[in-house]
């Protein structure tokens, strides 16, 4: 399970640059994440300039399933956090039926 974190643009800038000492809220987020034993990484690592808000998305790595609720709850209470939620693992679609028509255009490997 993946934890997605969204923060204010100002906090995102400091967190992405790794210079959280200049921003109190970014510093608080960074300290909290480290104290929980997880890592904060940008979701979209290679964006530049005007990004339509993509720079505000982060992933929390290293969380155990039993930690997810505690981590998201703690982060949601912070001023610079605009969202913290668990993204379920991807699962194959269930209930799909393979028919001759559904295979048109696909070649077996």
Residues 32-73: tens digit of each pLDDT: 999 999 999 999 877 765 677 888 999 999 999 999 999 999
Q: Model pTM greater than 0.85?
A: no
Q: Choose among 33, 58, 30: nearest CA to 44.
A: 58
**At which residue do the structure tokens 């913290």 appear?**
84
The full set of domain ranges for the chain reads 2-87
Which pLDDT belongs to residue 108? 59
Q: Are strands 81-87 and 39-42 parallel, antiparallel or unpaired?
A: unpaired
Which pLDDT belongs to residue 21? 84
The yes-or-no verdict on residue 3 having pLDDT over 60 is yes
The yes-or-no verdict on residue 78 having pLDDT over 80 is yes
Determine the CATH number of domain 2-87: 3.30.70
């Amino acid at each position: 399970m993946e934890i997605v974190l969204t923060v204010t643009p100002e906090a995102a800038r400091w967190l992405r640059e790794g210079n959280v000492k200049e921003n109190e809220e970014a510093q608080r987020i960074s300290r909290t994440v480290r104290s929980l034993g997880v890592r904060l990484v940008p979701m979209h690592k290679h964006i530049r300039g005007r990004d339509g808000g993509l720079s505000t998305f982060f992933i929390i790595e290293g969380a155990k399933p039993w930690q997810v609720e505690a981590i998201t709850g703690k982060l949601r209470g912070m001023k610079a956090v605009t969202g913290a939620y668990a993204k379920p693992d991807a699962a194959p679609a269930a209930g799909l039926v393979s028919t001759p028509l559904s295979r048109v255009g696909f070649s077996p490997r």
